[in-house]
Structures are given as structure tokens and as C-alpha cells.
Copies of this chain bind each other. A is one copy, B any other.
Amino acid sequence: MRDVSRLAGVSQMTVSRVLADPDLVSEATRLRVMKAIEQLGYVPDRVAGSLSSRRTNFVTAILPTLTNSNFADTAQGLAEALRPADYQLLIGYTMYKLAEEERIIRAMLSRRPDAIVVAGMVHTKPASEMLLRAGIPIVEIWDVPDKPIDHAVGFSNFEVGRAAARHLLSLGHRRIGAIGSRTDGEAIDLRGESRLAGFASVLREAGIGDELIVREGTAPVSHDHGAQTISILLERAPDVEAVFAVSDISAFGALMECHRRGIKVPADLSLMGFGDFDIARQCVPAITTIRVDAAQIGRLTGEMLVRLFNEEGGAADLQPSTIDVGFTLVPRQTTAPAVLEAGLS
């Protein structure tokens, strides 16, 4: 930068101004500086700039994995919303592990991000404390927590489960099950578990037991996971009429397993998933699902942050806000009304 300033015959500060706030510099000077920059192939060093200005223009996003298209969509939405404001996304993966989340938070904090976005609902105590003390905006996403740390953008996974159960009940089914993953100490998918809990709560209210809810394997779920868990369920209850999968990925795996076993969907079995993944819409039969706008969660989060950054110093960040983006049940071809008892089975 010194070289540039010398070549342009101005002070170092003027060069800095040209880059940060071009309007404050007279036209002629600016052009001269720009030419010098071009000529030298000068690329400003934001590491130094960050140190000096105490703003890195980094936003950290901590997600379970990027191998799930929902989270990838969220990341993309977030990145797109932040880009115009010149913020760069720093992504960390927890692989659904709590301990890993803590490690990543610590590592990320040392990069001095201007905000942190976390997709985990639950955190270890040290993790929560670090976030609280960080002194920067924190946004929890993909759920609406009871006690948010700071801001939140998401929807109620519990209500998703309830909506799924009500849908299957309204079709007249009584032998109703669900498939999801276990939440042991290591791998944790609290959102999936919330959906199952909501699902179970409606079943109980309807006087139906929740014993057909199968929790097997660990997050992240896969197509294979769906195939395996539906097999377990079918073994346990061959007469099951309707099944809710915590994810479309599982639902698709389950659907294909039904194909292989000659079980007709939805004639013999109603099946629904969650997430409205591409695959749910495209496959035959198309899978009934619950849609959440993953990219929208990212975008709203990004826009919220940009607003916070601009108002910085204003009173706005004293009031943490929670945005519920809601969800939509999308009936498709894998769910159908129950047949009468006199039916085939």
C-alpha cells in the first residue's frame, strides 16, 4: 500500500480512503490512485485491516453437515444475503456431535467473526457461555428455542411432528408409526427428535400408543437408514398403515424398500417425510412431505445480520428477535385415506 501511495504521489491514508470510502476523495486523486493500484496489482490485506478496525466481516455458520441439501440451501441463502454487504461466510461442520460444536465455536471465536449463526438447538455449557460472552450477535436457526441465546430464525420442529400426525389421523389411519434416529450422547439430532416428540404427543392425545416409533442409527440419516428402519418397523408391526419419516431422505429410502418388498404405497401403506427435498417432489409416487424454506431461513438470517451491523450502536440489538418462518404440509401421492376394515389386509 505504501508503494501504491508513493506511485500515486499521495499519502497512505488517501489510498485507504479510496478503497473504503471513495466519495471522500476528490475525483482526480481517486483516479490516480486507482491507476496505481491497477498498475502494481495491489490487493489490499484485509487481515491487517481487520486487526486495525476490529471488524473482520466474517460471519461464522455452524451447521451439522453440508451433505444435507437443506443445510446447504441455508448456507447458500445466508451467503447470498451477506455478499452484498461484503461479509464472508466461515462454515464449520459439527457432524451432529456436541463436543465437536464446542471445539468449533472455540476455533471460530479466535477468528473474531462479527456474528455467529448456529444450527444446533442444544449446546454444552462451555459452548453456551462462549457464545454469550462473545459480545457479537448470535443467531440460532432451524428451530424456535424456548430460551434463545440471542436471536433466532426457524420454525417449531415439535409442531411439524404434530402436523404430520394430525394429517395421518385425518386420513383415518390408526396403526401409525414413525422412523428416526437415536440421540445418544455422541451424535445428536435434536430437531429430528423434536419432530418425533410432537408426533408422539398427538398420537397419545388420540388414544394411540407411540410404540411404533422406531429410533435407530445415528444422524445424519440416509437413504439406507430409511430402508433399514422401515424394515424394522414392518417386522415389528406388519399391519402398520401409516409412517412418518423424520426426513425425506429416510422417506425415500423407505419408499424404495417398500417397492422391493411389493408393498404398495399408498394403497398398502401411507408414507410421509419432512423437508420437501427435491427428491420428494420428483420421485414416483411423489412423497407427501412438510416443506420448510431452507434457503429462506438463510436469507432472513443474513438480512437480519446486515441490519444489525448497520444499526451498530443503535438500540436495536438490545431486543433479540425471533422469526418463525413456519412450514407447510404438502400432500402428494404417498398418503391416502385408510381403507375399511373389510379391505384386503
Give the interface of A toward B (CB within 8 A). 41, 43-48, 50-51, 56, 65-67, 69, 72-73, 75-76, 79, 88-91, 93, 106-107, 109-112, 129-130, 133, 222-224, 227, 252-253, 256, 259-260, 278-279, 281-284
Q: Would you list 28 pairs from A and B whose C-beta atoms are within 8 A, ordered by A residue?
A: A41-B129, A43-B110, A45-B51, A45-B110, A46-B110, A46-B111, A47-B47, A47-B51, A65-B76, A66-B75, A66-B76, A67-B69, A67-B72, A72-B72, A76-B93, A79-B93, A88-B111, A90-B90, A91-B91, A223-B279, A223-B282, A227-B282, A252-B283, A253-B282, A256-B282, A260-B284, A279-B279, A283-B283
Alpha-carbon distance between A282 and B221 when the two chains are bound, in angstroms? 14
Instruction: Return the chain B residue nearest A112 by Cβ.
Output: B47
Given contacts A46-B111, A106-B43, contact A73 B67 (CB under 8 A): yes
**What residues of B have a CB within 8 angstroms of the CB of A227 in the complex?**
282
Shortest A201–chain B CB gap in Å is: 31
Task: Closest B residue to A222 by CB, please name it.
Answer: B278
Beyond contacts A41-B133, A67-B76, A252-B279: 19 other A-B pairs, Cβ-Cβ < 8 A, are: A45-B51, A45-B110, A46-B110, A46-B111, A47-B50, A47-B111, A48-B51, A51-B51, A69-B69, A76-B93, A88-B107, A90-B90, A222-B278, A223-B278, A223-B279, A223-B281, A223-B282, A252-B282, A256-B282
Complex contacts, A282 vs chain B, CB 8 Å:
223-224, 227, 252-253, 256
Complex Cα gap A116–B207 (Å):
59
CA distance A161 to B66 in the complex (A): 28
Would A256 and B278 count as touching, CB distance under 8 A? Answer: no
CA distance A43 to B102 in the complex (A): 13
Return the contact of A89 from the options B41, B91, B133, B260 (Cβ within 8 A): B91
**CA–CA, A221 and B281, complex, Å:** 16
In the complex, A103 Cα to B194 Cα: how many Å? 41
A109–B279 Cα distance when bound, in Å, is 37
Q: How far is the CA of A46 from the CA of B252 in the complex (A)?
A: 44
CB closest chain-B residue, reference A100: B83
Nearest chain B residue, comparing its CB with the CB of A75: B66
